[in-house]
Amino acid sequence: MLDNLTTEIRSFYSLQDLRESVEERIIQYKTLVDEYSQWLGSLLRDLESTHKNDAWFKEVSALEKYAKKGVSRKEGEKKGGREKASTAWVTVKGVFLNATDQGEVEMLFDAIESLNKKVEQLSKVKEAVDDLERLALGKDTIYVAFIRDGVPEKIVLRPRKGTGASEKFTYAADFSMIKEQ
């Protein structure tokens, strides 16, 4: 399976397969969060000697503990001081470029925050799958999932062909016609 797809439709032949896929993504994203958090911590320690009195550095140092715990910033909080440093980012054909230490810190915070949101979304999907398992939908169902950015957003339940389950999902109607003479 292509892991780089951002949008895909994938069939799962059991809820267990779907749950395992979601759990695998959660583990992958948490691993990335840990890796980026270590990178951020190391970067902040290296930058402390040259930027410890800068306002942006104080702000991101305070926010670092939240990033490590998997807590997203509140809507009103600044993104690592980006509002003050917006002139440091240059747009070239839709791509943002920055050549400052602050830019790297902001990028790491954004990545960590994005991954934490995905972990949160995937945890909710896992809970939904657990609820579906309690409904005991049976082994004759295929689960077709619409996955965007690694997170299943929609699931269609389809009966497997060649099983009696397809009869449950069919529409039956009788037609009668009057013969004209």
Per-residue pLDDT at 92 exceeds 80: yes
Domains of the chain, by residue range, sit at 7-169
Q: Is the pLDDT of residue 125 over 60?
A: yes
pTM across the whole model: 0.71
The Cα-based distances of 65 to 22, 34, 42, 44, 57 in angstroms read 26, 12, 13, 12, 13
pLDDT band at residue 99 under the 50/70/90 scheme: confident
Q: Tell me: pLDDT of 121 over 80.
A: yes
Separation of alpha carbons 178 and 181, rounded Å:
9
Q: Which residues contact 38 (CB under 8 A, 6 or more apart)?
A: none
Q: Are the CB atoms for 67 and 113 separated by under 8 Å?
A: yes
User: How does pLDDT run across 34-50, given as a tens digit for each residue?
Assistant: 999 999 988 888 887 77
